[in-house]
C-alpha cells in the first residue's frame, strides 16, 4: 500500500441478475472499514482464455481483460464473492482468474485477497473456497482465511431490499473486511517493476 487510502476490487463469481453473491458483495461495500473503498468489476465480458488472444501472440489483450487487470493492478486487495458450482469454482470466475494470472506483470502476484461465498445449499461454498487455496498458493497471493464467510441457504438470508438479515454472517463479514485491511497494511509494498505496472 502506497498511500493512506485502501482500494479494493470486488469480484462476483455469478453473472445472474438476482445473484446472492453479487448481493453479498454489495453488503460488503456498505460494511467497509474506515479509509477503504471498493470497485465492483463485472467479469461478464471476459472471453474464454485462449493463448492466441494473450500476449505475446496477440499485440494486446481483449479490452475487458485489460480493464480487469488494470483495475486489480491499481487496487490494494481483492474481495471475491462466489457461488460453488459442482463443488468447485464457477467456470466463468476461474476463466477470469486465469486471464489475470498470466505474465510476469500479473496483478495477482503478492496481492492480498479474501474469498467468501453464498450458496442455496447447506455448506455455504466451503468446497469452492478450498479450491481457491491452490490458486492463492500458485500466485503467491496473501489470502485472509479467517473468519470464514460461508452464507448457507442464502435464499433465506436477504430481505426484499437485498439487506443481509443474518446478523452472525454480517458480523463475520465485517471481521473479514477488517482482516483484509490488516493484511494490506502489513503486506510489504511489491517490487519496483511491479509498481511500474500499477502506476
Binding residues (CB under 6 A) for ligand FNR: these are 14, 16, 19-21, 83-87, 118-121, 123, 154
Q: Which is nearer to ligand FNR, 25 or 38 (CB)?
A: 25
Least separation in angstroms between residue 76's CB and ligand FNR is 25
Residue in 3, 4, 8 with CA at minimum distance from that of residue 179: 8
Q: How far apart are CA 60 and CA 51, in angstroms?
A: 11
Please check whether residue 131 is in contact with residue 95, taking contact to mean a CB–CB distance below 8 angstroms.
no
Least separation in angstroms between residue 162's CB and ligand FNR is 12
Q: Which is nearer to ligand FNR, 1 or 130 (CB)?
A: 130
Q: Where are the alpha helices (DSSP H) in the chain?
A: 20-30, 63-74, 91-101, 126-138, 167-186, 192-198
Least separation in angstroms between residue 73's CB and ligand FNR is 26
Q: Which is nearer to ligand FNR, 76 or 84 (CB)?
A: 84
Least separation in angstroms between residue 72's CB and ligand FNR is 21
Could you count the other beta carbons within 10 Å of the beta carbon of residue 167?
8
Amino acid at each position: 500500500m502506497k498511500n493512506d487510502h485502501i482500494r479494493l476490487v470486488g469480484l462476483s463469481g455469478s453473472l445472474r441478475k438476482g445473484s446472492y453473491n453479487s448481493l453479498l458483495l454489495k453488503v460488503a461495500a456498505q460494511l467497509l472499514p474506515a479509509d477503504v473503498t471498493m470497485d465492483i468489476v463485472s467479469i461478464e465480458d471476459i472471453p474464454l482464455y485462449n493463448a492466441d488472444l494473450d500476449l505475446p501472440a496477440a499485440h494486446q489483450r481483449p479490452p475487458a481483460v485489460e480493464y480487469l487487470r488494470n483495475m486489480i493492478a491499481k487496487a490494494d486487495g481483492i474481495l471475491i464473492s462466489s457461488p460453488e458450482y459442482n463443488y468447485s469454482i464457477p467456470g466463468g470466475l476461474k476463466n477470469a482468474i486465469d486471464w489475470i494470472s498470466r505474465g510476469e506483470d500479473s496483478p495477482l502476484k503478492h496481492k492480498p485477497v479474501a474469498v467468501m461465498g453464498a450458496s442455496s445449499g447447506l455448506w455455504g461454498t466451503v468446497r469452492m473456497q478450498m479450491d481457491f487455496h491452490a490458486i492463492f498458493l500458485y500466485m503467491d497471493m496473501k489470502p485472509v482465511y479467517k473468519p470464514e464467510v460461508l452464507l448457507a441457504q442464502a435464499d433465506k438470508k436477504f430481505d426484499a431490499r437485498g439487506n443481509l438479515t443474518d446478523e452472525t454472517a454480517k458480523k463475520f463479514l465485517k471481521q473479514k473486511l477488517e482482516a483484509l485491511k490488516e493484511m494490506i497494511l502489513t503486506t510489504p509494498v511489491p517490487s519496483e517493476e511491479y509498481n511500474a505496472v500499477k502506476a
